[in-house]
Structure 1
Amino acid sequence: MSKKINILGVDDKPENLLALEAVLEDLNINLIKASSGEEALECLLRVDCALILMDVMMPGLGGYETAKLIRSREKSRQIPIIFITAINPEQEHVFKGYDCGGVDYLFKPIVAEVLRNKVSIFVELFQQRKRLKDKAQELQIANDHISMQQQELCQSEVRFRTAFEQSFQFMAILDPAGRVIELNKLAQKLCGIYTGSLVGQFLWNICWVGQDDENMKLRRAIDRAAEGECICDEATFTDIKGSTRFLYRSVSPVKDESGKVVYITVQGHDITDKVIAENEKRNLEILLQQAQKMEALGALAGGIAHDFNNVLSVIIGNADLAVNSCDRSSPQLQFLNRIHEAGRKARELVKQILSFSRQAEIEKVVLQPSQVLVESIKLLRSSIPTTIEIVQDIDPQCGAILADPTQYHQIIMNLCTNAFHAMEEKGGKLMIGLCREDVDYRYYHDLGLKPGGYAHLIVEDNGYGIDKEHLEKIFDPYFTTKEKGKGTGMGLAIVHGIVKGHGGVIHVDRKDNEGTAFHVYLPLVNREGDQKEEPLDVLSYGSEHILLVDDEEPLLEMVKNMLELMGYQVTSCISSRDALHVFEQSPDTFDLVITDQTMPGMTGFELAGKILSIRTGMPIVLCTGYSPNISRKSIAALGIKELVLKPLALDEFSNVIRRAIDQAD
């Protein structure tokens, strides 16, 4: 078994040193522990070490101060130092560490595999430097005793040549000025473009011909090594096949007994696969972070929706009550109608928020896309600067589609927002069109469209356009070319998903630096008569007895007034437990139960289950502002007749109540 190589670990926390020892125990090294900078300096007087793992923040002598003292000593100045820190990896901290003699940084929490790999490399480099130094000493002795040790010298040369040529690393031996003395086969491959003799040439002139930045970086490292410094860094270069490669290298001085630099060794190995793997891991972490953001947004949207829908219920409901109690000739009626309309728009806004965060049920209805488009443009005009002109070409008779109104609005807003960002800097023209497109089999080959009629939406801008190499990625989740803060890369991915979910196709046309046009095709339906809208003042009345349950008093009072306006007899309860007690006393008295879902002590769903266990078939209407665990399928399975999503206007509410009662008769 080979002799263990010493590594010095410096940290004022014993548990951190024990953790380092546990991670590195299988590397055949001896971890010497020092709890302070002072103790580390004392250890280095007694023990030779291949590497120092140094904590930055320590009482007394900190990591940077200790590193400076280590570098000031002849015996220890060549020992590589890796700083370990929990502070933010800001440039000023990193540069300070390098100025103090550090060769690398590890940031807490430390990834065990990264630590083992880095330590293994430095241990291996230490061993190789020691072998090269020993070899240089052997050669010097051989020069003094050449006649007596000729055979041993030859054998030594064979061993050296075998290790040198068969090494898996790039290896070069230079004179102190940086001229090539020896290159192994891997090193010669890096100089494959250069023609002529390699020996005697400056390494930075022959290594990567035409890659000036990397060669200048190599020259600076060799110059520092000529002054006695050890340098470890990474190089990025293009190989003879045109592929980008990554090389981890060390540039080290070899000194004679007097301390004079007699050779410089350059060693390195290809870490391209490792870099690619780390980049892939980093990208996956970014995707995970984005997914977590979306999850958090969904939770936030749900909370907002629940509270805001309760507020909107009071606003819309009281506006309905005021309209119905107001004389039709009253000048106040127009103001009440505006309140009611604003409440409806706010309700649609909440639906958009829930749709974006994937928290809302998709409800496809037959709709006129031209109407949604006109309303969306009104909203868009107020949110983008006047430097962008909006040009409309909308055919109101293009036909009807079967779609979720909120999601169709989302398609429009996302595409128009992207167009706005493309023209934000210089202004421009945003062209929005809608027409009927009757396609035949030719379109199937071009766009994948089946023959038939389509509502063709066009959103076109004259901004900076989309680069050709990005065209295939624009619908990928989280792909974005926008600067940080301008987008998450989810907009077009969501649009693509919505269009596909509605049986349509989205296509993009681009011109270099001349703008972009998105084309959305959604199939038309011949069911325009299915879309029925009842006027606001058409109410369904009744005289039945209703048990009303809600834990918010303003909402409870407003709904009670609504029901009494429709002619119903109402018993109201402000808690689910009170309501259950009232129902248990006289279950046959009531014709309908209307209950809120989110209540303390007992939810509406739980209350409904207890009521149905007392009286099977009891008509129940469950109301909710937002409940992710409640769906129409789950309430139907329990036996609840209707699910009402707040806020609901008076006319809609009256029809739901009447339908629930009549179905039970």
Structure 2
Amino acid sequence: MTQAADYKVLIVDDHTHNLYTLRTLIEKHLGAQVLEATSGRDAIDITLEVYDIDLIILDVQMPEMDGFQTASLLKRRKRTRDIPIIFLTAAFKSEEFQQRGYAVGAVDYLLKPLDDELLINKISTYFRLIEKERSLNRVLERKVAERTAELEQARQYLENIVTYMGEALLVLTPQGAIKLANPAAYRMLGYAANDLIGMAIGDVFEEEGDAEAGAFMGIWLEALIRTGALEKIEARFIAQNGRRVPILFSRTAVTDAAGHITDIICIAKDMSGYVRVADDNENVIGVPPLDLI
């Protein structure tokens, strides 16, 4: 268990000799840090200044603001609502008052004259519960930190793949606006960083022999909805300077749980320097020109 000196106890009583007795008892047997308040208002003010109070021992019978009123205010505030409160009283001993104490959020309701051993055991019990909660929080924080590090490592890994891949990558909205492009795409198209973002795919792309160029996004979406992917399409990118860049193009749809397309992933391989020839079976294949062989 963590040393009791790591805990802070706020004791609240309008009689200074009661405060002295409580302080002496707690410091002698537990060594915890003790804060003192002589009224409910003082107690509220202290909790505004000190963030890490672990336990409050609160006298019920006090002038102006009694213990019930003080506890009620403490439980309304987010910062103090979870601090355990032990009520002490010499006057309000009936079952009715005890029930009222529990109703405003007390965890214990002890009667004076105090049994010193009982009080110390009660405080020790709450310290153990607090330590268990702290231990669980530390485990949770460690797991969150480990998971965060894993996610960051995975994010960096994927970012490196996107950054250093040789093919151009474009991520589109379902309406065909470019929302992400990798460095290879910027190099291939001759645009400065981030200039592609927000442009329509039709501004940088044309399909070979596409007689319905104005409607190809609609054709894309229809095909993607049916198949989820379109692969190895021969097409051209339109570079910033107007140059046509021959590409081999693939498109894949990303859908949500309802099956609606959220993104379109486009990958293009630069086919510049390649020519189209037919093999014996009349299948078109790409090979380097003779002067490159």
TM-score, normalization by structure 1:
0.22
Larger radius of gyration: 1
Structure richer in helix, relative to its length: 1
State TM-score, norm by structure 2.
0.48
